[in-house]
Structure 1
Amino acid sequence: MTTKKPQTESVDTPAGEARIHWYRAPEPRLVLALGHGAGGGVEARDLQALAAALPAHGVTVALVEQPWRVADRKVAPAPRALDTAWRALWPALAAPGLPVVAGGRSAGARVACRTAAELGAVAVVALSFPLHPPGRPEKSRAEELLGAGVPVLVVQGARDPFGRPEEFPPGVAPVAVPGGDHGFAVPKSAAKNGGVTQEDALAVIIDAVAGRLAGTPGG
């Protein structure tokens, strides 16, 4: 799967310059805006896979690069600063005049959940939602998912130390990615033994998101 070169738009925010990388659908019905996590950027395998696959389904994908990444800083700011930048970006995401689904991976998924209702997102796609810090299930962030105020799709690696699919509370039914860790990486040994390959794992993510968006208003 080859991702076409995106159109890049710079957006000024109170936290500094952000970037939106647009992967436009030929006949778009909605926009899926995806933010990255605190440990990486828009080059993440799941974000790139969705950007490559979804335009053929009528979904324009906007990969959002937070100001701290644009500035090449190594540590993400506090959640409040991430939310502030996301809010400032939103008018650019809504500019095409299409319904917008908010989303992201890890910290980006948390931002999307916290701001979706106030910004008018029609749904949320939460990839690798960090339900709790590794080894600290008592520090649950489930309220962010349950309080999003819009339909939420969670796609979660079966081996994610930030929360395995079975750890999520009633009312949240994650799509499990077999063998996937927090970055949706699967062990190479699994493929050698006839199990899930990396391509299989990405296909699960693409199918889950494309299927949900097909039933989303405007999708």
Structure 2
Amino acid sequence: MDPAAATEREIVRTPAGDARITWRLSADARVVLALGHGAGGGVEARDLVALAARLPAYGVTVALVEQPWRVAGKKVAPAPKTLDAGWTAVWPMLAAPGLPLVAGGRSAGARVACRTAREVGARAVLALSFPLHPPGKPERSRLEELAEVGLPVLVVQGGRDPFGVPGEFPAGTDLVEVPDGDHGFAVPKRSDIGQEAALTVLTDGVLSWLRGYGAVG
């Protein structure tokens, strides 16, 4: 955890109920990266925690956004329209620091970020573990959500993600592969890459991408 970063939390009222933002503040912030969680967990996911721990040292304030259904203690995520409403209602608070904003999230949160990016005025989208299709059902593709963003997009995908492995994404997709990572970027003990190294691949890839289009120095 970056010792120079501060943690702050705030509740935001939305049409879907109260959402919560956990800020990891960079002392020299040049961009805000807003990250939503998936449908099966919250902001404690290992990839979100890793990014929130590392990026503030590089001028990136990370805002971890908990959807109202999670804040309320519910077990099942609501419909996409409700998720989108909760996310977009939080955006004015995310924009309050007056910095460029990158929208992101993992799994269902990545889909929300893709669907709403242009509406909220995001500069780019970070899609962690994008669920390209339900496991075992490649014919039910969600590629359209990713393809229609119309902004710079980085996909970070595990090499054995049942929701879509890197090779299933179209040629030309800006993509970082986490070797042997599953949908939660967990790697098996037998893997040649350890868990810490796998998360370093993820955070290094995101930093390189942010630098590549000038978000951070």
Deviations 1:144-179 (A, max 9, x none): 111011100000000000000000123324211001
Distance (Å, rounded) in 1 between the aligned partners of 2:214 and 2:102: 10
**Equivalent residue letter for 1:23:** R
Which residue of structure 2 lines up, in the alignment, with residue 18 of structure 1? 19
Q: Indicate the residue corresponding to 1:73 in structure 2.
A: 74
Native 8 Å contact 2:6 2:25 kept in 1: no
Question: CA offset at residue 119 of structure 1?
Answer: 1.0
Report the equivalent of 1:50: 51
User: In 2, Cα distance between the equivalents of 1:100 and 1:173?
Assistant: 19
Q: Which runs of 5+ in 1 are unaligned?
A: none
- Which SS does the other structure have where 1:34 is aligned? strand
CA RMSD after TM alignment? 1.3
Partner of 2:62: 61
Partners of 1:212 and 1:57 in 2: CA distance: 13
Q: Deviations over 1:165-206 (max 9, x none)?
A: 00012332421100100000000122xxxx100001100000
Query: Is structure 2 residue 81 aligned with structure 1 residue 109?
Result: no
Kept in 1: contact 2:6–2:26 (CA 8 A): no
* Match in the other structure for 2:164: 163
AA partner of residue 167 (structure 2): E
* TM-score for both structures, normalised by structure 2: 0.96
Mapped partners of 2:125, 2:66: distance in 1? 18
Structure 2, unmatched stretches of 5+, are none
In structure 1, the residue matched to 2:88 is 87
Contact 1:132-1:139 at 8 Å conserved across structures: yes
Aligned partner letter, 1:216? Y
- 2:190 is paired with a residue whose SS is helix
Q: 2:101 is matched with which residue?
A: 100
Amino acid at match of 2:136: G
Aligned equivalents of 1:182, 1:35: Cα separation in 2: 15
Q: Does 1:212 align with 2:205?
A: no
Offset at 1:213?
1.1
Q: CA deviation at 1:7?
A: 0.5
- Paired with 2:148 and 2:67, the residues of 1 have a C-alpha distance of 23
Say if 2:133 and 2:142, in contact at 8 Å, map to a contact too: yes
CA distance in 2, matches of 1:174, 1:150: 14
- The structural deviation recorded for 1:33 is 0.1
Contact map agreement 2:107 2:130 (CA 8 A) in 1? yes
SS at match of 1:11: strand
**1:115-152 deviation per Cα after TM superposition (whole angstroms, max 9, x unaligned):** 10111100000000000000000000011111011100
Matched residue SS, 1:133: coil
Q: How does 1:179-198 map to 2 (within 5 A)?
A: 179-190=180-191, 195-198=192-195
Distance of 2:6 and 2:17 partners within structure 1? 24
Indicate the residue corresponding to 1:32 in structure 2. 33
Aligned residue type for 2:68: P
Which amino acid in structure 2 is aligned with residue 47 of structure 1? L
C-alpha displacement at 1:216, in angstroms?
A: 3.2
CA–CA distance in structure 2, aligned partners of residues 150 and 87 of structure 1: 17
**Structure 2 residue matching 1:90: 3-state secondary structure:** helix
How many positions carry a matched residue from both structures?
A: 215
Mapped partners of 2:81, 2:39: distance in 1: 13
2:196 to 176, 192, 199: 199
**How far off is 1:217 after superposition?**
4.2
| Distance verdict in 2 for CA 1:197–1:218, change over 3 Å | closer
